[in-house]
Chain A
Amino acid sequence: MTTTEHKPHTSPEIGGLGHSRRRVEDARFIEGRGNYVDDITLPGMLHMAIHRSPLAHARIISIDTSAAEAVDGVVAVVTGELLAGYNLAWMPTLSGDTQAVLATDKVRFQGQEIAAVIATDRYVAQDAARLVEVEYEDLEPIVNPQRALEEDAVLIRDDKEDQTSNLCFEWESGDKTATDEAFAKADKIVSLETHYPRSHPAPLETCGIVADVDSATGQATLYMTSQAPHAHRTVFALVAGLAEQNIRIVSPDLGGGFGNKVPVYPGYVVATAASLVIGQPVKWVETRTENLISTGFARDYYMKGELAVTNDGKILGLKVDMLADEGAFYADAQPSKFRAGLFHIVTGSYDYPAAYVTTRGAYTNKAPGGVAYRCSFRVTEASYLIERLVQNAAYELGLDPAEFRSSNFIQADQFPYHSPTGFVYDSGDYETAMRKAMDMVGYADIQAEKEQARKEGRLVGIGMASFTEVVGAGHGEDYDIIGLKMFDSAELRVHPTGKAILKLGVKSQGQGHETTFAQIVAEELGIPAGDVKVVEGDTDNTPYGLGTYASRSTPVAGAATAVISRKLREKAKKIAAHLLEASEEDLEWETGKFFVAGDPESSVSIQDIAFAAYTNPPPDLEAGLEGVHYYDPPNMTYPFGTYIVVVDVDPESGQWKVRRMIAVDDCGVKINPMIVEGQIQGGLTEGFAMSSMQHITFDETGNCLGSNFMDYLVPTAWETPRFELGETVTPSPHHPIGAKGVGESATVGSPAAYVNAVVDALQHMGVTNIEMPMSADRVWHAMQENSGG
């Protein structure tokens, strides 16, 4: 597959693929008329606040709610004991584990939910929640996975009958024998041990729900911060025992998600149960602290990678061993079959015959999660490890990291490429993307400047990452979440006047679906994008889908939209033949109309066809121009690119600053280039955040040290680098419109580039690794340890 130029096929009035169409959704947001969960107020609505554990690990001796109940305005106090009466004290996680809704036996992480106060006012609810009194018996807090797996470590999950240790999962991929053989042939083994720190997606809108259960009819309407409303409806049906047809989940505007709004959280379940029992709507919206200490964390992988290489710069094989800190409940939102997500994409953009990946996860006394934070199920960790390893290998071999990459890249003519861990990469041209980025940054000049800078007492570094992502999970045979196959859907209705409504199973959190998915319909049917309304996030009004995360909206729901549009076009052709009194075989399609071959004057527009579909359908054809398609992706898509970072490091203080940040992305065919750019810029910022400041740590008692935005650092406009974007376009061969998805590439690919740049600046001192986030302190220590003082 070659890199191709893509120009729009349609006019700006139609606004199909490739147009930087201005966003439809902005109209409400710029007037402050977005409708987020906390903006919803229902008559008689009560407010919920949660009492949480201050301790990381302790046995609950008693819970006294009397003082809380006595507060004026309190309607009810819910405990786990009460929920147990409804069989709701525990719920399933998305990884097939169980999680306490409200703790009854033990608390297993600081911030765990113990009791919930329902009151007439949000302030009163919080007042009362503080008055719940819990008596504890302290247990040893397990605050890292290494300790968790020691023989004498206290058992965290003593609630599970078969659980005899804190081991949560073990999983492997690749071929051990072949890899051992490859390693035996190697001239050098380059290894790197590193920790991808615990992080949190922290969308600016926290999680929340307004649960409205009608006790008379049993109808439950749940306004929820949900990236996957249909899957959540099914989980609710399974957890709460409610009839699924009586559950309507509405996910309104979301103030960002980034994976945080994929899991089902205890607060949702308690608010729903409370509404059911009390018979009034109940609102629960997290505080920022609750968001950071209790809902879906990300990363926290301890990784050891070894790369077997020859002296002339060829990679022969890769071994990886990974230990995950999973927190108290194994709640990764990921395909069931893959216990460490898609971490085995760790072989990266390089061609070598053998790889062997072993993974384990351990329970610890920390919040559960393991969500795919702007990432396709642990691809971020994988990409980071291989791109760091490759740079270190180049140094060890005395080669330029770019040239080392180049001589090991999977070549453009090798696609579809079967990777040693079982992936089939769809298309790529890594060399071209890398050279483009190198040209943009002036690679040779920077390399030359490094020498000169050192003489002047300055430190300059240049680092690169040539990442490959794997997104759009995935084919139903291999990919499911709690048994639900990972298809997605689109329902398209073309109305008599030629206007259309498109209903999707996915859910935008800011990605601009209302704009971009209309463009796909415009491309395929020639209906102006402005005439296509896109509806998402209401399970009563959209077809079933698995939701938006792991960059799957464009690869899966986008494909579904293209396919249903094409199906309707086939039907439209029959109607056109009827209207033009021609045979179908004689008709040709040009954006927006069918015409008789050789007689362009004899044509009928899609709008006229739509009208006829309802007013004058052919006698042998069903009326209407509507349909739904469930798309089962035949494979995933593999976006890729090269990111290059240039940094200046202060040799005295360890402070570093990004001078240049170049990002060349290839996400296949772009639906809306403006939105693609916005996605990349956002992702690059999150990559910068993780590499420079953003992480959650715990002290030895399990006390969370990143529990608010004073301690969990999100970069502002002032620190954030200016990005320079470039592109190549290599369409996906199996996707109906050749698109690959882009929402997460930059988060996945960029952290290694930032770290590689700072390590590069210090490499002459012997520095081979600096852990993220690269605080000035860590950079300074790296220099001290390697420069002899």
Chain B
Amino acid sequence: MNITVTVNGTAHTADVEPRLLLVDFIRTNLGLTGTHIGCDTTSCGVCTVLIDGTPVKTCTMFAVQANGRSVTTVEGLKQNGELSAIQQAFREHHGLQCGFCTPAMMLVGTALIEENPDPTEDDIRWAISGNLCRCTGYMNIVKSIEAAAETTREGASS
């Protein structure tokens, strides 16, 4: 089946099997390997991307379902050569260790800040509770998202 998916602002057209999972389309067909695979049961969330701005687990969606939609992956976070606020915050606050859950965490954090510019710690923990991390104990992920929200608010008010 022929599909066209816009990924990080670029339209990609491909002929795919209906059963091709979106995560494999992104990783294999497009070569964007920042989106990862960590389980078979929609549990770990490392495959999360934004579809039209909403976080979605791409291991539980077929590529054909994304036909005509707009996808943002971790590779799309950097704009005009500038790291986004959340990317900078994850680095500054040691929000990652092995890096495997990081792209998803940053994307979920981005969507959260978009919806709620001033999230509480509980808001953040709740928002990322569909995404597992085995390294950090989440504390610095929370701190990173808090910091990114603050930077974003400052940026918006200045």
Contact = CB atoms under 8 A, between A and B. Distances in A.
B17 A123 contact: yes
A678 interface: yes
B64 interface: no
Contact of A255 (B17, B98, B129): B98
Given A509-B98, A675-B94, A708-B39, A717 B129 contact: yes
Contacts of B96: 23, 26, 29-30
A137 B94 CA distance: 54
Tell which of A32, A34, A38, A717 has the most Cβ of chain B within 10 Å.
Answer: A717
- Scoring A255, A258, A714 by chain B CB atoms within 10 A of each residue's CB, the highest score goes to A255
A230 B101 CA distance: 27
Interface residues of B, number: 58
Nearest to B93: A674
Interface size class of A (residues with CB under 8 A): 35 or more
B107 to A, nearest CB: 10
B68 interface: no
Interface in A27-84: 27-36, 38-39, 41
A204 B137 contact: no
Interface stretch (A526-534, A637-645, A680-688): A680-688
A32 B34 contact: yes
A710 B60 CA distance: 14
Contact of B132 (A34, A253, A716): A716
A204 B44 contact: yes
B154 interface: no
B125 A678 contact: no
Contacts of A31: 34, 74-75, 77-78, 83, 87
Centre residue among B28, B36, B92, B94 by max chain A CB count within 10 A: B94
A205 interface: yes
A202 B134 contact: yes
A519 interface: no
Contacts of B31: 41
B137 A510 contact: no
Interface string A252-294: 0111101000000000000000000000000000011100000
B10 interface: no
Contact of B40 (A253, A288, A510, A718): A288
B112 to A, nearest CB: 12
B58 interface: no
B contacts with A: majority SS: loop
B17 A204 contact: no
Nearest to A27: B91
Nearest to A287: B40
A261 to B, nearest CB: 11
A709 interface: yes
Contacts of A256: 97-98, 100, 134-135
A206 interface: yes
Interface string A688-726: 000000000000000000001110001011101011000
B125 A718 contact: yes
Given A204-B133, A678-B136, A720-B138, A289 B40 contact: yes
A717 B141 contact: yes
Nearest to A714: B132
A403 B5 CA distance: 65
Contacts of B92: 22
B43 interface: yes
A677 B99 CA distance: 17
A618 interface: no
A34 B102 CA distance: 10
Interface in B110-158: 124-126, 128-142
A32 B74 contact: yes
A12 B78 CA distance: 28
B103 interface: yes
Nearest to A675: B94
Contacts of A709: 39, 41, 43-44, 132
Contact of A682 (B35, B46, B97): B97
A36 B100 contact: yes
Contacts of A26: 90-91, 96, 99
Interface in B43-81: 43-44, 46, 73-75, 77-78
Interface of A: 22-23, 25-36, 38-39, 41, 122-123, 202-206, 253-256, 258, 287-289, 509-512, 674-675, 677-678, 681-686, 708-710, 714, 716-718, 720, 722-723
26 contacts: A27-B91, A29-B99, A30-B74, A31-B83, A32-B74, A32-B75, A32-B103, A34-B34, A34-B99, A35-B33, A38-B36, A123-B20, A205-B98, A255-B98, A255-B99, A255-B100, A256-B98, A288-B38, A510-B97, A510-B99, A675-B94, A678-B94, A678-B135, A678-B140, A686-B134, A710-B41
Given A26-B96, A709-B41, 18 more contacts: A22-B92, A26-B91, A31-B34, A31-B87, A34-B99, A35-B33, A36-B100, A38-B37, A41-B28, A203-B100, A205-B100, A253-B98, A682-B136, A708-B39, A714-B43, A714-B132, A714-B134, A717-B141
